[in-house]
Structure 1
Amino acid sequence: MADLEELKKKYKFHEETLSYFKLRAEAGFGSYPNAPSMEAARNINLQVTQKFAGEITFEGSTKEFTVPSPYVPDGIPVTVYQSNNCSLVVAPSIFVFFHGGGNVVGSRQTCDVICKLFSREAPCVVVNVEYRLGPEHRFPASNQDANSVVRWVSMNKSLLGGVNDSTIGVGGHSAGGRLAAVVSQQLWDFIDYQVLIYPNVDYRKLYSSQKEFEDFPGLSKEMTQWFCNNYIKDCDKETALASPILNEKFNQLPPALFILAEFDVLKDACYAYHEKLQQAGIRSQVFCVKGVTHGFFHLPGHFKETCQRAHEKVWKFIKANS
């Protein structure tokens, strides 16, 4: 257990991380648990993204679809990005992406920039998912939505800009990474690869990084507890649907790429999950970005150098599995 100043004595911090915390504090962004309402907490998440994600040039189409679901009468909204670069490949992969936010905050809007980057650079078709959030829709609502979207994508490749031979990948960061891991277990025969960006793969919090970084401002113990209180019951945490590391079989899962942050309570659980995949004979690789905090990946406007390195790993992985 250590705060920021204590950790500075042990680790080398990337300047982008230090300036991020400084600028965030100066902007007066509060913490989610202390927000006066759920709407206010979600607005903090959006404001942080708007300040630090930046903007990119995107040439191509951006379309809105509604995915039918037995769990959602009005369907699940998704945004589909198809860059002009997709025409350069015979069978562009379709990459389904789930935003982060502890299953409580976050939205498609917070991943708009990185989804455009994926589509432009991989190149691939990207499906950005607006899954249901707690406390209005508690566990396993977001899992149900992820499952529904992947099934729909598999049946509508040509509608989205792909072809019959297009591979399907899933990915997400933080809570979205957990959804990608779980849906890869449920629908392993639909999915060709998974990109897990500092995912929460174990709600039990058994690992040393959980204690070491619990007071760190990136993803603190207070914040993770607030997410849990608003999304999941304690009795559900020890199921594979919530904690994918508890799954009994790993040998049928698709190849995986983990993108991790050095300063993250979730880091050691991700390494443990990676090892389970490797032990089962699954191709799995880890890229841990030194000196950065949980939450950096979707903020390339600020984390320019570190995001560039991490994003390039994802683009290359998608290309290799297309």
Structure 2
Amino acid sequence: MMLDRDAAQMLEAIASAARPPWDALSPEEARASYMAGREATMPAPMPVAEVRDIAIPGPHGAIPLRLYRPATAPASGSPALAFFHGGGWVLGNLESHDGVCRHLAGRSGCVVVAVDYRLAPEHKFPGALDDAFAATRWLAAEALALGLDPTRLAVGGDSAGGNLAAAACLLAREAGGSPAIAFQLLLYPATDFAMDTGSHRSFGEGHLLTRANMVWFRDHYLNHPGEAADWRASPLRAASLAGLPPAYVLTASHDPLRDEGEAFALRLVEAGIPVTLWRVPGLIHGFLPMGKAIAASGAALDRVAAALRAGLAG
């Protein structure tokens, strides 16, 4: 399968620029590089009716959230998505995925609540997951006060955020179904720190996200290599995926994380969970926020938003 033309041109431009890879930088330098890339590739933000920053109590201090309410969302009883950004548990923030959250809210009609969870290496595993799950529980508890329907709450995210969303669903199941999560939206998710799949071997170099990047992320996030076997870090390694909510899983054809995302989808199906899996042809990891550089990202986000709307239909 051929690379999407826009993706290929962007990869060529990155190679020509000869910028140091994230794994050659300090976390602070990598964060600055990541945000510079976002500013160069993010399209103009989609307008929504309300954007509101909130700080909520977390297990280790306040957790910043950003709520996006589209004009089509009802004043009460709106479906909602808790969204966890990607960035390898080390990079990213509310700004890096502002465009994605606006697009999902505007096109789905759902309220989207972005979660600015703590990052590694300052906060090691399971700090990010602790914050993601605490924010999900808070959103469920405060749903009525926020004009949301507590029975139509989804969790989702891209890459590392997809990892956190899948793990949050497992934590909720282990807590007896509390909070009640109705849907999971997993966008090229990281599901296993083994990094030994065919797609890791085929696309681990030259396709933006590299194997060296993933090792760097892993080593910053985990306290020690043995934690890779913990299902809270590698949701694919959970003994059972039974009892999880229905899922929409997006993978990209030229992504090293492709196979582990699809393996997670297959295990959900084997557990009797309704799943829609879409492998986007010709695309690379992390393409969804890059609408200024990769034209296909806008249509893909439209399709994801439609799946979210259908998954939370009352």
TM-score (norm 2): 0.93
Partner of 1:6: none
Cα separation, 1, equivalents of 2:293 and 2:260: 27
Partner of 2:280: 289
Determine which of 46, 50, 64 is the counterpart of 2:35: 46
Partner of 1:250: 241
What's the secondary structure of 1:67's corresponding residue?
A: strand
Question: Within 5 Å, which residues of 2 pair with 1:1-322?
Answer: 11-25=1-15, 29-35=19-25, 37-70=26-59, 72-73=60-61, 75-87=62-74, 91-165=77-151, 167-188=152-173, 189=177, 190-232=180-222, 233-304=224-295, 306-322=296-312
> How much has 1:91 moved relative to structure 2?
2.9
8 Å CA contact 2:46–2:99 kept in 1: the answer is no
8 Å CA contact 1:219–1:265 kept in 2: the answer is yes
Indicate how the Cα distance of structure 1 residues 282 and 65 shifts in structure 2: closer, same or farther if over 3 A, else same: same
What's the secondary structure of 2:55's corresponding residue?
A: strand
Indicate how the Cα distance of structure 1 residues 164 and 203 shifts in structure 2: closer, same or farther if over 3 A, else same: closer
> How much has 1:192 moved relative to structure 2?
0.5
Cα separation, 2, equivalents of 1:58 and 1:25: 33
Identity %: 28
Cα separation, 1, equivalents of 2:276 and 2:51: 31
> How much has 1:312 moved relative to structure 2?
2.3
* C-alpha distance after superposition, 1:241-261 (max 9, x if no partner): 111011122220001111111
> How much has 1:315 moved relative to structure 2?
1.4
Cα separation, 1, equivalents of 2:204 and 2:117: 27
> How much has 1:157 moved relative to structure 2?
1.1
8 Å CA contact 1:30–1:44 kept in 2: the answer is no
Indicate how the Cα distance of structure 1 residues 57 and 311 shifts in structure 2: closer, same or farther if over 3 A, else same: closer
Q: Aligned partner of 1:62: which letter?
A: V
Structure 2 spans left out of the alignment, 5+ residues: none
8 Å CA contact 1:91–1:162 kept in 2: the answer is yes
Cα separation, 1, equivalents of 2:305 and 2:10: 25
What's the secondary structure of 1:205's corresponding residue?
A: coil
Aligned residues: 306
What's the secondary structure of 2:162's corresponding residue?
A: helix
CA RMSD after TM alignment: 1.6
Q: Aligned partner of 1:92: which letter?
A: S
Indicate how the Cα distance of structure 1 residues 59 and 199 shifts in structure 2: closer, same or farther if over 3 A, else same: closer
> How much has 1:57 moved relative to structure 2?
3.5
Cα separation, 1, equivalents of 2:160 and 2:48: 29
Q: Aligned partner of 1:81: which letter?
A: Y
Cα separation, 1, equivalents of 2:64 and 2:189: 23
Q: Aligned partner of 1:42: which letter?
A: R
* C-alpha distance after superposition, 1:64-98 (max 9, x if no partner): 1112122x23x1101111111213x8632110111
Cα separation, 2, equivalents of 1:113 and 1:96: 15
TM-score (norm 1): 0.90
Structure 1 spans left out of the alignment, 5+ residues: 1-10
8 Å CA contact 1:81–1:125 kept in 2: the answer is yes
Cα separation, 1, equivalents of 2:301 and 2:107: 9
